[in-house]
């Protein structure tokens, strides 16, 4: 049995049927990535042949090993960049501009990496060939993607068996599912009819077309004489206990069943079925829960933070010495912060303020620019060296140790002090459900110049859209942002 959440179905579901079921969508993403490999290889060969025919004085020729290397690199790069840019998530959009823009970024970045590879390996590639390769790749990707819906629909109609769906229920939820099935007819989905929970139901239900309504008691006979691939139960929660025998019947017949559970109160959570020993649990997760990807995120944190500590150790020792020489007090500032799910940990950074900064905090609170967090532009408690440490985020370097220990991550909401967390509104506490990080989305948008509510919204946006690719985007964009020194108090 599968759990189907039909409350938050995005509008573009209706114009691209493979989105109806998320597992189908994963197959489509894989097919798009595979198409990218084939189209990129075709663009490469077309560019190579075109360059050979161009009347340039210099003859251009690639040896077999070099050609194989470049083709292999392109075959890996284009799908990887497409995944990184979330291009495959947007290809079912009805807007051609989205497809054109995403394909252009993918082709341009791919060509840029090929140029970097050329310089790294000291290859002698023709500039005209590289330009043609990028242009042909973009054109072919756009042509395929703009017509992909028609192509996939034609393949499903001509070579795929129809997918027959029976909807249990007659309410608005069931009608909504029925309309989705109707609009997916071009992609092989066939709505067989509806099952009625009550004996006084009408004989037919009118949507765009008229469909028969069968009593639940007739389901065994219906399964005997009619091909049914899926039965989707879209009934009220109070009716579910009465459907136990129907679900067991479908299970015995091997018919796949899905239950729409949009009657559960949730807004931000992703729903999935989990197990505790042999006991199945319907789970709502309002933060990332993919253990494999989270484990990869942790592995990246350990490797990069360990490398950063080794590389930065000499300058960190020098900075610590300068802090000790220029102002009284310890070189490191220690403070208790809130980590994953509210766990307390000791947070480290280079001291950028006078030693008694905490005692002066209350007398300066009226100067704070934030509603909850304490932030003062040109904070008078900063030391001379501390101003530069904060501007370029050098004071944050000791937090690589926090990352290595597991208190923090490289990317995530910034860790808050407990007294700030106590003032959070209910919806803001969800930011604690992600391991805090060295950098985050709002650090790229304006750092300390942003208001507190924008901080919170950006953290929620990160949690709701988290992926390993998003982490890399934030890391790569953080470096120039920090080096510029803009937006830090």
DSSP per-residue string spanning 375-411: --TT-TTB-HHHHHHHHTTGGGTTHHHHHHHTS-EEE
Antiparallel, parallel or unpaired: β 332-338 and 204-206: unpaired
| Cα dihedral 337→339→342→347 (10° resolution) | -20
Same domain, 380 and 478: yes
Q: Of 476, 464, 455, 465, which is closest to residue 410 (Cα–Cα)? A: 476
Same domain, 296 and 281: no
* Position 2 in a domain: no
Instruction: Give 194: exposed, middle or buried? Use CB within 10 Å, 0-12, 13-18, 19+.
Output: buried
pLDDT at residue 246 in the model: 85
pLDDT at residue 335 in the model: 92
The helix (H) or strand (E) run that includes residue 336 is strand 332-338
pLDDT at residue 191 in the model: 92
* Position 489 in a domain: no
Same domain, 261 and 312: no
Same domain, 145 and 19: yes
Same domain, 353 and 444: yes
| Cα dihedral 20→21→27→32 (10° resolution) | 30
Same domain, 421 and 340: yes
pLDDT at residue 293 in the model: 87
* Position 296 in a domain: yes
Q: What is the pLDDT along the chain (489 residues), one digit of tens a residue?
A: 555 554 433 333 333 333 445 555 566 677 788 889 999 999 999 998 998 888 877 778 888 888 899 999 999 999 999 888 878 776 655 578 888 888 898 999 998 998 888 888 888 888 888 899 999 999 999 888 887 766 665 555 554 567 889 998 888 888 988 998 888 776 678 899 999 877 788 989 999 899 999 998 888 888 888 888 888 888 877 777 778 888 888 877 778 888 877 666 665 667 777 766 666 676 777 788 778 888 999 999 999 999 999 999 999 999 999 999 998 889 999 999 999 888 899 999 999 888 776 766 666 766 665 555 666 666 778 888 888 888 888 999 999 999 999 999 999 999 999 988 888 888 888 888 899 999 988 877 766 667 778 888 889 899 988 999 899 999 988 888 877 766 554
* Position 29 in a domain: yes
CB < 8 Å & 24+ apart, contacts of 432-435: 432/338, 432/340, 432/341, 432/342, 433/286, 433/287, 433/340, 433/341, 433/463, 434/287, 434/288, 434/340, 434/459, 434/462, 434/463, 434/466, 435/339, 435/340, 435/408, 435/409
Give the residue numbers spanning the domain of 165. 161-285
Distances, alpha carbon 36 to alpha carbons 31, 41, 65, 153, 205, in Å: 9, 8, 22, 19, 43
Domain boundary among 153, 176, 200: 153
Tell me if 345 sits within 8 A of 351, measured CB to CB: no
Same domain, 119 and 16: yes
Token pair of 283 as six digits: 């789970």
Domain boundary among 153, 186, 209: 153
* Position 247 in a domain: yes
**Residues with Cβ within 8 Å of residue 52, at least 6 apart in sequence:** 60, 61
Please, what is the Cα angle at 421 between 420 and 422, to 5 degrees?
90
Domain CATH for 196 = 3.40.50.720
Token pair of 285 as six digits: 């997760």
Q: Of 375, 455, 372, 438, which is closest to residue 402 (Cα–Cα)? A: 438
Same domain, 333 and 445: yes
Same domain, 191 and 276: yes
The helix (H) or strand (E) run that includes residue 420 is helix 418-421
Domain boundary among 114, 135, 153: 153
Token pair of 426 as six digits: 């209910």
Same domain, 207 and 237: yes
Tell me if 281 sits within 8 A of 275, measured CB to CB: yes
Measured between its terminal Cα atoms, the distance across the chain in Å is 54
* Position 1 in a domain: no
Read off the DSSP letter of residue 416.
B
Same domain, 194 and 239: yes
- Total domains present in the chain: 3
Same domain, 136 and 250: no
Tell me if 489 sits within 8 A of 378, measured CB to CB: yes
Residue position matching structure tokens 């028609």: 150
pTM above 0.75, yes or no: no
* Position 277 in a domain: yes
pLDDT at residue 2 in the model: 52
Instruction: Give 199: exposed, middle or buried? Use CB within 10 Å, 0-12, 13-18, 19+.
Output: exposed
Cα 437 to the center of its chain, rounded Å: 17
pLDDT at residue 292 in the model: 83
pLDDT at residue 147 in the model: 79
């Amino acid at each position: 049995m599968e759990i189907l959440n039909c409350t938050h179905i995005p509008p573009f579901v209706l114009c691209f049927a493979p989105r109806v079921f998320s597992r189908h969508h994963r197959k489509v993403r894989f097919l798009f990535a595979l198409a990218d490999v084939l189209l990129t290889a075709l663009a490469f060969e077309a560019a190579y042949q075109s360059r050979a025919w161009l009347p340039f004085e210099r003859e251009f020729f690639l040896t077999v090993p070099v050609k194989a290397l470049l083709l292999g690199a392109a075959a890996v790069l284009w799908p990887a960049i497409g995944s990184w840019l979330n291009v495959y998530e947007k290809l079912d959009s009805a807007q051609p501009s989205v497809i054109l823009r995403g394909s252009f970024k993918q082709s341009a970045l791919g060509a840029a990496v090929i140029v970097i590879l050329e310089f790294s390996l000291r290859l002698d590639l023709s500039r005209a060939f590289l330009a043609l390769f990028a242009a042909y790749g973009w054109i072919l990707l756009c042509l395929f993607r703009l017509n992909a819906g028609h192509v996939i629909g034609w393949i499903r109609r001509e070579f795929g068996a129809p997918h027959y769906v029976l909807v249990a229920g007659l309410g608005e939820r069931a009608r909504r599912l029925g309309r989705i099935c109707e609009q997916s007819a071009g992609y092989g989905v066939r709505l067989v009819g509806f099952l009625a929970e009550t004996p006084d139901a009408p004989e037919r239900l009118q949507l765009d077309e008229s469909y028969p309504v069968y009593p639940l008691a007739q389901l065994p006979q219906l399964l005997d004489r009619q091909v049914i691939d899926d039965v989707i139960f879209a009934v009220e929660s109070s009716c579910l206990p009465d459907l136990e025998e129907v679900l067991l019947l479908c299970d015995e017949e091997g018919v796949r069943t899905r239950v729409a559970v949009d009657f559960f109160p949730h807004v931000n959570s992703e729903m999935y079925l989990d197990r505790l020993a042999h006991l199945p649990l319907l789970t709502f997760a309002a933060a990332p829960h993919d253990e494999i990807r989270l484990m990869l995120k942790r592995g990246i944190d350990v490797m990069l933070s360990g490398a950063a500590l080794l590389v930065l150790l000499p300058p960190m020792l020098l900075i610590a010495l300068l802090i000790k020489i220029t102002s009284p007090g310890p070189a490191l500032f220690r403070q208790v912060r809130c980590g994953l799910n509210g766990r307390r940990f000791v947070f480290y950074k280079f001291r950028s303020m006078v030693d008694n900064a905490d005692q002066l905090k209350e007398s300066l609170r009226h100067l704070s620019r934030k509603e909850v967090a304490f932030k003062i532009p040109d904070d008078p408690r900063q030391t001379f060296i501390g101003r530069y440490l904060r501007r370029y985020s050098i004071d944050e370097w000791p937090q690589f140790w926090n990352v290595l220990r597991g208190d923090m991550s490289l990317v995530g909401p910034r860790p808050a002090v407990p007294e700030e967390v106590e003032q959070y509104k209910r919806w803001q506490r969800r930011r604690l459900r992600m391991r805090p990080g060295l950098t985050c989305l709002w650090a790229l948008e304006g750092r300390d110049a942003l208001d507190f509510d924008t901080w919170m919204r950006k953290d929620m946006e990160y949690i709701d859209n988290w992926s390993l690719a998003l982490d890399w985007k934030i890391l790569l964009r953080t470096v120039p942002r920090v080096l510029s020194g803009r937006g830090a108090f």
